[in-house]
Structure 1
Amino acid sequence: MKNILFCLLGIGLVGVAVGQVVSKGKGCRDAEAEKCDLEFLTFGFSSKLPETASKLADLCKKRTKALQCALNYTDRCLIGFYRGTAFTAINTMREEHERRCNATHEDHAAFLQHAKCLNKAGDAIHKCIVNFKKELFTTSTKAETKHRIRYGCCDYTKMFQCREKNLRDKCGDPAAIVFSRNAGEHILGNALKVFCGGYTTESKFCKALPRLPKLPSGTKVPKSILVILKTFATL
């Protein structure tokens, strides 16, 4: 899972320069991707991780279906670079999923060992991600295309720092934090240095960007990061 959001960022960064990235055929609406209910970000959909083997097994069954649904949608609907990058991201997620759901694999034991501590930060991290999705969707629909990457980098680094701060403050177990980092999307923090340069949330560059208009009242922000990034890449 180390490269998942690196891949997804690539969708957005390169997608901005291309045209249509999703087929207009049957079964390719955003709602179809949302139905897959695939969580790309830890604590993205909820504030709690399973803390027992039985609850993890239940999550594994649900996630197996979600991953297959997302792969089917990608195969059926996505085009070009966006399609290839999504396949890479989802297959990487599936590999980690299979390790974590295999009761004989060390990742299974490590997940259960650290879940309780990570859950102490779950509520706060979930809020970080909800805010991030809203801000990235605002960027996707309100920022000029030529500035979208800059705003997106500022949005992501804000969420990343929020996540890291809450892991330190509310969990505090170095081993659990390292597990969380090794398991997932933190790797994008380093990748951003390549793609985003100085555009990090507290930088003078982010602070200098004009404030974007707010989303209209009642706007429904997509649940799926895949859908938000598709909007980021195509509007």
Structure 2
Amino acid sequence: MPGLLRHTVAALAVFCVLSLPARAAAPCEGALGTSRVMEVPAAGLQLGTKHFPQTLDLTDGEVVLTFDDGPHPGTTPAVLKALAKECVRATFFLIGRNASAHPDLARRLVAEGHTVAYHSQTHPMTLADLPFDKAVADIEKGFVSVDKAAYGSASAHPRTPFFRFPGFGSSPELLKYLGDRGIDTFGADLWASDWNPMTPDQQLKLLMERLDHQRRGIILLHDTREQTARMVPAFLAELKAKGYRVVHVVPAGVTTAAKP
């Protein structure tokens, strides 16, 4: 009987071990990750030292990743895959007509936790060169197109009070218009110059040289550029290796004014 009991206890022990749920590794364990979330008030702010006197309150080593001109089916999914692998969240400034053409990608951005913002309807170069009423119409149509694509509906209030001018082509009148609406204008603190053809390795070297010099800031990239899509995995790995930290910006309560 003692021998039988001993075998029974051993069998139960094996059963219990096999029955315990396997401890799944944390999906972001060892990844670069998103170090913190920064709430930005809908207050008509003008951010980014490339064009404005002030920027986000980032500490040494903190970066905000932003992507312009998407979504684009040939490149945006690769960027999203790289960001998801490293558990990094970014802000995407979408062109309205691109969002309308690819609503599945606009919805994917929302589903994966990224911030969806606005980059006009047609990306004129530049809005400041258009008559004021036509520029405003293009901005407003972009708000509606992006919101319908990403969320299924739009109202007089854009879902996210973040806008970036195509080519940074703003004017005092347009900045005031957005400011009166409580919409923040995002510039940038540094960029990869990825509108210029270069290899992903060349682009990475250029961007890291600029970042290592500046040590913080809003970074501008384009998820529509193949060279950028190919560079992003190595860029995220470099950020992690050098101890940089990614900050995700979100609206602090969407309370923008209705358009006049």
TM-score by length of 2: 0.27
Higher Rg? 2
Work out which structure has the larger RCO, using CA pairs closer than 8 Å and 6 or more positions apart in sequence: 1
| Structure having the larger proportion of residues in strand | 2
| Structure having the larger proportion of residues in helix | 1
TM-score by length of 1: 0.29
